[in-house]
Chains A and B, each alone.
Chain A
Amino acid sequence: MFKTFFISELKYTLKQPMVYIFMFIIGLLEFGATVSDNVQIGGAIGNVNINSPYTLTIHITIWCILALLMAAAFFNNAALRDHNNEFNEILFTTPLSKPGYFFGRFFGALFVSTLPILGAFIGLIIGYWLNLINDWVDPERFGPFYLKTFVNNYLLFILPNMFLAGTVIFAMANKWKSTVISFVGGLLIIVAYTVAGTFASDVDNETVAALTDMFAINTYSIETKYYTPIEKNTISPGFSGLLLYNRLIWVGVGLIILALSYFNFSFKQKNKKVKKEKTKASKTETVFALPKLNPSFNGATNWQQFKSFFHINFLSIVKSITFKILFLFCVIILIADLAGGFEYFGLQSYPVTYKLIDSINSNTNIFIIIIVIFFSGELIWRDRDHKINEVIDATAHTSLISMVAKTLSLVSIATILNIFFIGIGVLYQLINGYTRIEFDVYLLDFFYSNLPFFFVFGAITILIQVLASNKYIGYFVAVLILFGLNIILSVFDIYTNMMDIAVTPSIQYSDMNNFGPGLKGALWFNLYWCLFAVIGLLIAGALWNRGSKSSLLSRIKTARKEVPKSYRGLIIGSAIIWIAVAVFVYYNTQILNPYYSGDTQEQLAIDYEKTYSKYRNVASPKIIDAKYFIDIFPNERNILVKAELEMTNATNKPLDSIHIYGQEDWDMTLNIPNAKPVFKDSTYLFTIYKLTPALQPGEKLIAKLESNYITKGFTNGRGNTNIIKNGTFINNGSILPTMGYNEGLEINDKNTRKKYDLPEKVRTPELTSGVTELHMGNYLSGEQGDFINVETVISTSKDQTAIAPGSLTKQWEENDRQYFHYKIDTPSLNFYSFISADFEIAKRKWNGVDIEIYHDKKHTVNIDMMLDAVQRSLEYYTKNFGPYYHKQARIIEFPRYANFAQAFPGTMPYSESFGFITNLEDETENNVIDFVIAHEMAHQWWAHQVIGAEMQGGTMLSESFSQYSATMTMKGITENPMKMRDFLKYDHDRYLSGRSGERLKELPLYKVEDQSYIHYGKGSVVLYALQDYIGEEKVNNAMKSFLEEYKYNAPPYPSTHDFLRHLEPQVPDSLKYLVTDWFKEITLYDNRLKEATYKKLDNGKYQIKMDIESYKIKSDSLGNETRVGINDWVDVGFFMDDEEENLYEQKRVKFNKETSSITMELDSLPVKAAIDPRHLLIDRVYKDNIKKISHEE
């Protein structure tokens, strides 16, 4: 019986086109991802093979989610087919077996549900074979196929995931007998999945996240988090570890659901509960008379009809179960997200309004969109579905009124939901004791972006449904427009928002700069789209299928009769306004502010390199002194710059020409004495000036620059986020032209380069010892300037403060504007910023240095702590490394369009989005905000006093050193060493997951090529461990003597070799291996505590025995690992508590065998034993280093 139903289910489904269509869709997408880099599924893959087990598995996990909605169709069908065909009463009265029927249908549907995903395998293999012939992508990017990858993916992901989802959908379908509820069930599964995903955001919860993920997507990414490229290319997912446990758990859950559903299933129809009618006690006999009627049809009638339609539509949405379920889940998701707070490195942000807006939008918009799409179809097809259409259609109303009412009821639902969510947001703020509630910001944000979007999208989905010949085609087109349109447009290389329905420039609220530079454009685009929507509604009103179903063509023919005479005027009128607005928007976004499309940009970059790379080695003069006259007009968003740049020929040959590149959007005129332009290429803003006579070595010249940035109208995108009304922040790099060959214009992507026959690009020049040509430039300002003097006169509007590098020598008001005159106190790198905003300034004096925090008046809470952090840094660094050469240390807040902090000489711009709004009330010890300040302060030494040559290892000397310095300031105020382990775990994680995602090659620390996971992550870990092994003072001494040799020196600039030269003498011979292992090679440890037992001795002490496994691993740049003999010093220690906060009896021992056993005698009995208890060494699996101590048997 089981077999009969199983086979018949297969036969039935396999005869339907659906399964093949789904399979084809997935196959096609996978095929696309295989043969083109433009199609990406789950992110770029870098130097991992296209067909690697890892890539395929990631794709499969993503397809599982998509396939879930497909599975919903199959399972729902299997459960409800007989019911829907009303065949059930016939079938169920035959003597068939319940298990045979139930499980036959279920497993039949299960098998069929897994088929669409197999399309991915087929797409990949076909892609691979066709690529062999067609060479779309480099065949070298494919590795071997492993049968195991396919089999295990099927058994570990496809089958269990479809099984689990299937049990839920099948159970729901059997219970409620409604297709809609089954699909909602499918949606709920996806929602539950995303909730589980939020657990994965913190390192600590990984195990929880891995086990709660019902589709094992996070589980797989957590398990493979530290995979090296080689491992990704060769290892298929396997039946082990968290993945296996996860699968067992969830298949178990599925079995339980299936069993419950089975026992609940019955062939008999459930008797519907009949509500007992309340019998009225007394029936009042009333006689009704037909009133005298005066039907009227005029403007007032239209309004009443509109209201009535609106009311009925609105009711039908809010009363529907689908709506209630979606609404409830939306609320749950939002609350779940808010409950997690706004975490950043273990700290919480204050719930500022924009954070809540972001949270509301990112969690709920998708639901509102689903509601709009779903109910657009419901509202349009409802009359027909319920067979009341002919009655409604035969009444005397204009179709437009009904269409507008439908649209506005959708918009109102969306609005009410949004307002409700804002209410939740406000409540959340109040519960957290945050009282700066900005209703205006909430509402304006809603009016500026969500409301117009809901209206436009609602109207368009209504139009689509009116035009579509059935509801599901309408849904499909609506989803396609929403999610697929920009993909389709980008395929055709179209980037204008004027084509991408309901899309506008983005706006982002900032406490400093309100809604920011995108607002103007967003409003115009909103107008453009709203008018478009109005026209769409007018068309929908004219083409509404009134009466019997007829083709679109015949509806167009009869439209004339259906609409009043004024209608044509209405359409033409709106179209004229719309076209006028369109012309204006086009003028602003395409003519005033043109941009290049993606393909054009790529082609330009390729052409540039092919045409001009012959100038790659052209020499340029260096800037040695700069005077600026800058006028910032915040309201107009204009900047006018005049500059005098003193330059010199620092080479040993005469310079007869200078190659100059202008900056995009800046209107530059450059006046160089004795020079005239001999070549101009306006595409690349490239000019060659001929110098007559040539500039002799050592000879100087003064170039005069006029450089203006004028904001014109609005742009297609958000526009420039640096030149804004409050919080303008530009650096000299964007004001000044660049000289020499402009490597920044080249294409970086390895595979694109290969495609266009460009030579492989050297990411960073190789590390060389001794002094070479490469040591003449540093990695920050290249060869364009060394340590120079800067003087600035800068003006801004009256209410703002403008900041330039150096001491403020004079400040005055003139022409209703504020003027400031700054002069740098010590020659500094040609790398500085100019800032203007309405600031409050907090000041503190420390040893002759002005510590200043420039901040928005709303952000005052953390200012004292920030002053402390600056002071603490100054104290530690001046004591350990040497003097601070500026007279001020400024932290300057800038709007949250970017989320970083950066160090310029004496000034450190710091984004408003962290630090200023982080809740530090309960923080007594180290925290990341202090850390970031300490890091930027450290750059005042490491980067601004000494900076690495432009070659491998350069960033170690600034970034790693700053990380180390900042870590040491934190160590200074940390009482419990275990706190440092807590803090450094982020660096361990950053390094290990960074190397896993490396797209080219991993390098040892001393050859780091601007790879942040190495110079930040590994740099922190290694230098912190080093000071623990050889002593803080020794490391500081090495750094200090290195600094002294090079600080503020003209070229040659130092390399990491030069630092290691200073480090060597500080390292005792017994630990010399550390320098090789940690700096010069890639070394990892694999330590494991197999067992820890104790025995109470007769003297009252405890003897602890630890069985240890210990390997040292060397890795090459791709992650090929080899074990090498271990002969290293490693700590062993104990914890007195479960939480591992109370470290007890730590000892550094030499490990020289792969397995060994250590016995120690302790006074007290600890709870846990640990290898490397403070996590100094890089170990991919650190957790197994610690074990509870058990009693020896």
Chain B
Amino acid sequence: MSTLKINNLSKTYANGVKALDNVNLELENGMFGLLGPNGAGKSSLMRTLATLQEADSGTATLDDIDILNQPAELRKVLGYLPQEFGVYPRITAEQLLTHLAVLKGITNAKERKELVKYLLDKVNLYDKRNKSVKGFSGGMKQRVGIAQALIGKPKLIIVDEPTAGLDPGERNRFYNLLADVGKEVIVILSTHIVDDVRELCTKMAIMNLGEIVYHGSPQTAIDELRSKVYQRIVSREELQNYANDYKIISNKMVGGQPLIHVFSESHPQNGFEQVTPNLEDVFFSKINTSNVLV
């Protein structure tokens, strides 16, 4: 059982943007979902944990590895899939994975060969192993990326927006794969897709503007909102009025009309009906604390 501890981690970019604002987290083996809108600081946190970026202050440790000061040690037990994963031109999937396997310390040639084949098969690319990766579609490249993140014996796997560009079938495949691995290691899954977290994670955090605005299990979060979320279809013209009068969590179009969710301790009447909250409501209620129209 490994433990990842993040204490008071902060990072401000040169342009003044606070990417990480006093982040504290403690994770153990299992899938951990990191939710947040674009620009929330998820990738900054991920990159910092993946030793690719410096923090201004704070600490991060994985068991006895001080991530910020012993990057080389952490890398030995790290699997990382960045948000944008590209490939070398004119190199086959097999060559690329073999290269990365060597970099991840798989020095035994036979083991390496087996491993690469296994992973290629797992991500459904075995048939295309001798093709230049350059010609792959976005989804296929992403699968190569997933395969490489699993190489070796990582204790910590960080995957940043892994399902972007995958069709639903591939997505399922990938989740199964992650879930397999996730039992024994820490997997941090960053995403802005709420469903991903709901389906996979037992623990999660929501980030906004560099801060952790929620940390716990998805179910607890949902439970907290139970019987406090109401919805109603309104007309567009009235939307602004509702925004002024209620704590709007979210609005989305349903059949051409805005459907708003509002947070309320008691039933607001006025045509609202109570809904069972879902993770999306949690997400929006956590990041939309000022309750403005988004």
User: Residues on A close to B: CB < 8 A?
Assistant: 280, 283, 286, 288-297, 300-301, 304-305, 307-309, 311-312, 315-316, 319-320, 382, 386-388, 390-398, 546-548, 550, 554, 558, 561-562, 564
Whole-angstrom distance from the CB of B4 to the nearest CB of chain A?
15
Closest to B49 in A: A394
Query: Which are the 6 A-B pairs with shortest beta-carbon distances?
Result: A547-B52, A387-B86, A295-B105, A395-B103, A396-B75, A390-B82
Q: Which residue of A386, A397, A398 contacts B88 across the interface (Cβ within 8 Å)?
A: A386
> Is there a chain A Cβ closer than 8 Å to B268's Cβ?
no
Whole-angstrom distance from the CB of A553 to the nearest CB of chain B?
11
Whole-angstrom distance from the CB of A225 to the nearest CB of chain B?
50
Proximity string of chain B (131-151) to chain A, C-beta cutoff 8 Å, 1 when within and 0 when not: 000000000000001001000
Whole-angstrom distance from the CB of B20 to the nearest CB of chain A?
13
With a cutoff of 8 Å between Cβ atoms, the chain B residues found around residue A312 in the complex are 88, 91, 95, 99
Residues A561 and B85 in contact, CB atoms below 8 Å apart:
no
Residues A301 and B105 in contact, CB atoms below 8 Å apart:
yes
Residues B95 and A548 in contact, CB atoms below 8 Å apart:
no
Q: Which residue of B69, B80, B84 contacts A394 across the interface (Cβ within 8 Å)?
A: B80
> Is there a chain A Cβ closer than 8 Å to B114's Cβ?
yes
Residues A293 and B152 in contact, CB atoms below 8 Å apart:
yes
Residues B102 and A308 in contact, CB atoms below 8 Å apart:
yes
Contact (A561, B69) CB under 8 Å given A301-B105, A304-B102, A554-B54: yes
Residues B98 and A288 in contact, CB atoms below 8 Å apart:
no
With a cutoff of 8 Å between Cβ atoms, the chain B residues found around residue A280 in the complex are 127
Residues B114 and A288 in contact, CB atoms below 8 Å apart:
yes
> Is there a chain A Cβ closer than 8 Å to B63's Cβ?
no
Residues B76 and A390 in contact, CB atoms below 8 Å apart:
no
Residues A308 and B107 in contact, CB atoms below 8 Å apart:
no
Contact (A295, B104) CB under 8 Å given A388-B88, A548-B53: yes
Proximity string of chain B (155-186) to chain A, C-beta cutoff 8 Å, 1 when within and 0 when not: 00000000000000000000000000000000
Proximity string of chain B (80-124) to chain A, C-beta cutoff 8 Å, 1 when within and 0 when not: 111011111111000100111011111110110011011001100
Residues A564 and B106 in contact, CB atoms below 8 Å apart:
no
Q: Give CA–CA (A722, B50) in the complex, Å.
A: 64
Q: Which residue of B70, B75, B76, B85 contacts A387 across the interface (Cβ within 8 Å)?
A: B85
Q: Give CA–CA (A108, B82) in the complex, Å.
A: 43
Closest to B108 in A: A294
Contact (A386, B86) CB under 8 Å given A290-B115, A301-B105, A396-B75: yes
Q: Which residue of B52, B76, B127 contacts A396 across the interface (Cβ within 8 Å)?
A: B76
With a cutoff of 8 Å between Cβ atoms, the chain B residues found around residue A392 in the complex are 100, 103
Residues B70 and A561 in contact, CB atoms below 8 Å apart:
yes
Q: Give CA–CA (A305, B68) in the complex, Å.
A: 24
Number of A-B contacts (CB under 8 A): 137
With a cutoff of 8 Å between Cβ atoms, the chain A residues found around residue B78 in the complex are 394-396
Whole-angstrom distance from the CB of B267 to the nearest CB of chain A?
49
With a cutoff of 8 Å between Cβ atoms, the chain A residues found around residue B37 in the complex are none
Interface centre among B82, B91, B107 (most CB of A within 10 A): B107
List 5 extra interface pairs beyond A394-B50, A546-B52, CB under 8 A. Answer: A288-B126, A391-B145, A393-B51, A396-B104, A550-B53
With a cutoff of 8 Å between Cβ atoms, the chain A residues found around residue B236 in the complex are none
Residues A295 and B95 in contact, CB atoms below 8 Å apart:
no
Whole-angstrom distance from the CB of A321 to the nearest CB of chain B?
10
Residues B115 and A547 in contact, CB atoms below 8 Å apart:
no
Q: Give CA–CA (A159, B253) in the complex, Å.
A: 61
Residues A391 and B81 in contact, CB atoms below 8 Å apart:
yes
Contact (A316, B100) CB under 8 Å given A293-B152, A295-B106, A562-B72: no
Residues A382 and B107 in contact, CB atoms below 8 Å apart:
no
Contact (A396, B105) CB under 8 Å given A294-B111, A548-B47: yes
Q: Give CA–CA (A288, B71) in the complex, Å.
A: 33
Q: Which residue of B91, B102, B115, B145 contacts A316 across the interface (Cβ within 8 Å)?
A: B91
Contact (A289, B90) CB under 8 Å given A296-B107, A312-B99, A554-B54: no
Residues B53 and A547 in contact, CB atoms below 8 Å apart:
yes
Q: Which residue of A304, A309, A390, A561 contacts B107 across the interface (Cβ within 8 Å)?
A: A304
Residues A387 and B118 in contact, CB atoms below 8 Å apart:
no
> Is there a chain A Cβ closer than 8 Å to B226's Cβ?
no
Residues B54 and A558 in contact, CB atoms below 8 Å apart:
yes
Q: Give CA–CA (A65, B84) in the complex, Å.
A: 41
Residues A391 and B85 in contact, CB atoms below 8 Å apart:
yes
Q: Give CA–CA (A312, B103) in the complex, Å.
A: 12
Q: Which residue of B47, B69, B104 contacts A395 across the interface (Cβ within 8 Å)?
A: B104
Residues B117 and A391 in contact, CB atoms below 8 Å apart:
no
Q: Give CA–CA (A319, B68) in the complex, Å.
A: 38
Residues B80 and A296 in contact, CB atoms below 8 Å apart:
no
Whole-angstrom distance from the CB of A1021 to the nearest CB of chain B?
63
Whole-angstrom distance from the CB of A659 to the nearest CB of chain B?
72
Contact (A300, B103) CB under 8 Å given A316-B91, A382-B88, A394-B50: no
Q: Give CA–CA (A134, B23) in the complex, Å.
A: 66
Closest to B120 in A: A288
Q: Give CA–CA (A564, B85) in the complex, Å.
A: 28
Q: Give CA–CA (A289, B118) in the complex, Å.
A: 6
Closest to B160 in A: A390
Contact (A547, B86) CB under 8 Å given A291-B111, A390-B80, A391-B80: no
With a cutoff of 8 Å between Cβ atoms, the chain B residues found around residue A286 in the complex are 121
Proximity string of chain B (42-61) to chain A, C-beta cutoff 8 Å, 1 when within and 0 when not: 00000100111110000000
With a cutoff of 8 Å between Cβ atoms, the chain B residues found around residue A394 in the complex are 50-52, 75, 78, 80
Residues B118 and A291 in contact, CB atoms below 8 Å apart:
yes
Closest to B88 in A: A386
Whole-angstrom distance from the CB of A317 to the nearest CB of chain B?
10
Contact (A319, B90) CB under 8 Å given A295-B76, A390-B47, A562-B71: yes
Interface centre among B47, B76, B102, B108 (most CB of A within 10 A): B102
Residues B98 and A308 in contact, CB atoms below 8 Å apart:
yes
Whole-angstrom distance from the CB of A904 to the nearest CB of chain B?
65
Whole-angstrom distance from the CB of B176 to the nearest CB of chain A?
14
Whole-angstrom distance from the CB of B159 to the nearest CB of chain A?
11
> Is there a chain A Cβ closer than 8 Å to B252's Cβ?
no
Question: 10 A–B contact pairs at CB < 8 A?
Answer: A288-B121, A291-B114, A295-B105, A295-B106, A296-B107, A301-B107, A316-B88, A319-B90, A388-B87, A561-B70
With a cutoff of 8 Å between Cβ atoms, the chain A residues found around residue B88 in the complex are 312, 316, 382, 386, 388
Q: Give CA–CA (A382, B90) in the complex, Å.
A: 12
With a cutoff of 8 Å between Cβ atoms, the chain B residues found around residue A393 in the complex are 51-52
Closest to A550 in B: B54
With a cutoff of 8 Å between Cβ atoms, the chain A residues found around residue B84 in the complex are 387
Q: Give CA–CA (A171, B167) in the complex, Å.
A: 40
With a cutoff of 8 Å between Cβ atoms, the chain B residues found around residue A305 in the complex are 102-103
Whole-angstrom distance from the CB of B67 to the nearest CB of chain A?
10
Residues A308 and B99 in contact, CB atoms below 8 Å apart:
yes
Closest to B135 in A: A275
Q: Give CA–CA (A633, B80) in the complex, Å.
A: 69
Closest to A289 in B: B118
With a cutoff of 8 Å between Cβ atoms, the chain B residues found around residue A386 in the complex are 86-89
Residues A295 and B118 in contact, CB atoms below 8 Å apart:
no
Residues B121 and A547 in contact, CB atoms below 8 Å apart:
no
Q: Give CA–CA (A622, B51) in the complex, Å.
A: 84
Q: Give CA–CA (A300, B81) in the complex, Å.
A: 26
Q: Give CA–CA (A320, B88) in the complex, Å.
A: 11
Q: Which residue of A288, A320, A388, A396 contacts B117 across the interface (Cβ within 8 Å)?
A: A288
Closest to A394 in B: B80
Closest to A558 in B: B54
Interface centre among B75, B84, B98 (most CB of A within 10 A): B75
Residues B148 and A391 in contact, CB atoms below 8 Å apart:
yes
Whole-angstrom distance from the CB of B294 to the nearest CB of chain A?
29
Q: Give CA–CA (A407, B58) in the complex, Å.
A: 37
With a cutoff of 8 Å between Cβ atoms, the chain B residues found around residue A391 in the complex are 80-82, 85, 100, 145, 148
With a cutoff of 8 Å between Cβ atoms, the chain B residues found around residue A289 in the complex are 114, 118
Q: Give CA–CA (A388, B87) in the complex, Å.
A: 6
Whole-angstrom distance from the CB of A403 to the nearest CB of chain B?
14
Residues B90 and A316 in contact, CB atoms below 8 Å apart:
yes
Whole-angstrom distance from the CB of A106 to the nearest CB of chain B?
30
Interface centre among A290, A311, A382 (most CB of B within 10 A): A290
Closest to A280 in B: B127
